[in-house]
Amino acid sequence: MKTTMTLLATLLLASCAGTGGTASNVKSYKSDMCALTDNRLGSMGTPVTKVYGDQEVKFCCKPCVAKFEKNLDANLAKLP
């Protein structure tokens, strides 16, 4: 019983960890620059990758994600 509950909990967590799209239908982010600033990806540590709908977007740091999401539609429209 304990093994079954552990397995169910693991499957539930794994299903919640999705990024919003499957690898086959997500448009990759082509730039080596942050989607919000002119910072090169990796210049502020490990880049952060998010998927919005079918678009992958990369950021130089976590604070840029929050700023980008405050005006999500307008910022997504600016992407190349």
What is the model's pLDDT at position 80?
Answer: 81
Q: Is the dihedral of CA 68, 18, 80, 40 positive or negative?
A: positive
Low-confidence ranges of the chain (pLDDT < 70): 1-23
State the residue range of the domain holding 22.
Answer: 2-78
Neighbours of 6 (CB within 10 A): 10
What total of structural domains would you count in the chain? 1
What is the model's pLDDT at position 49?
Answer: 98
**47 vs 12: CA distance, rounded Å:** 27
Direct distance between the N- and C-terminal alpha carbons of the chain, in angstroms, rounded to an integer: 51
What is the model's pLDDT at position 39?
Answer: 97
The residue written with tokens 């239908």 in the block is: 25
